[in-house]
Amino acid sequence: MIKAAIDYLMNAGKTEIININGQEYTTKNIIRVTAALPETIKTSTLTGLIDYVKTNIDKVPDFEQNVIIHVVSESEVALMSCLNPDAKRAHMLTCYAKTPKLSLDTYLDPEEFNVMLQSCFLDHADRDKILGVISNIKEENVKNTSDDGISQTVVAKVGVASTGYVPVPNPVVLVPFRTFIEVEQPESKFVLRIKDGPRIALFEADGGEWRLAAMLRIKKYLEDALPGINILA
């Protein structure tokens, strides 16, 4: 078939094969025409992906057998076709999770830290402990912080008119919003640090294990909603 195509082009006067130093060359480039790929639909929820699959709005034949869902990360999921004759996949739909920005590994003033903790983290026992400590720290007493490199204590209000040494909980288990809202948010450990100012910071302390947990939860959620679809994570 390839030879026939070359012969056709040569006979049409559109190209020639010439020999230079024993090597054959064509006088014009021959470019293979590949199959067209659709424009990718973008959504911000897993619900949008599920609805697209269930309705098969684009009328893809044998839809369930011809698509793959790839959980790329905790915040990205792609719906793709199987390989076409050009060994390429159509990226039919991609979900990008919309999550609040977390100011981790950065020292914040108590007000900024308080707002972040209440707006970007789910209600949790350790979150309430942290809020209780930072809301009672007295600025003039922060320099009396006791720190052995692992645990800290700070001088804070412990009553209506008294102050005392209050231990800073460490490590703490918190549940930030970091993946699609449809799945359970993974909890993970953080190191809480306080320094003069006062300035407060959270540092991740689970080695990124939460990402794997989030991806597996997304996979399970989609498997329950879309039985029969190939899902990779």
Domain ranges in the chain are 1-31, 41-99+214-232, 110-206
Percent of the chain residues past pLDDT 70, beyond the cut: 81
What does the pLDDT average to over 13-20? 76
Rg of the chain in Å (alpha carbons): 29
Sign of CA dihedral 76, 79, 82, 86: negative
Tens digits of residue pLDDT in 158-216: 443 434 556 777 889 999 999 999 999 999 999 998 887 788 999 999 999 999 999 99
Residues in the chain: 233
The DSSP H or E segment spanning 223 is helix 209-225
What does the pLDDT average to over 208-233? 96
* pTM for the structure as a whole: 0.78
**Confidence at residue 3, expressed as pLDDT on a 0 to 100 scale:** 62
Tens digits of residue pLDDT in 18-71: 888 888 888 777 777 888 888 999 999 999 999 999 999 888 888 888 999 999
CA distance 39 to 63: 18
Which residues, in sequence order, are CB contacts of 204 under 8 Å at separation 6+?
104, 105, 188, 189, 190
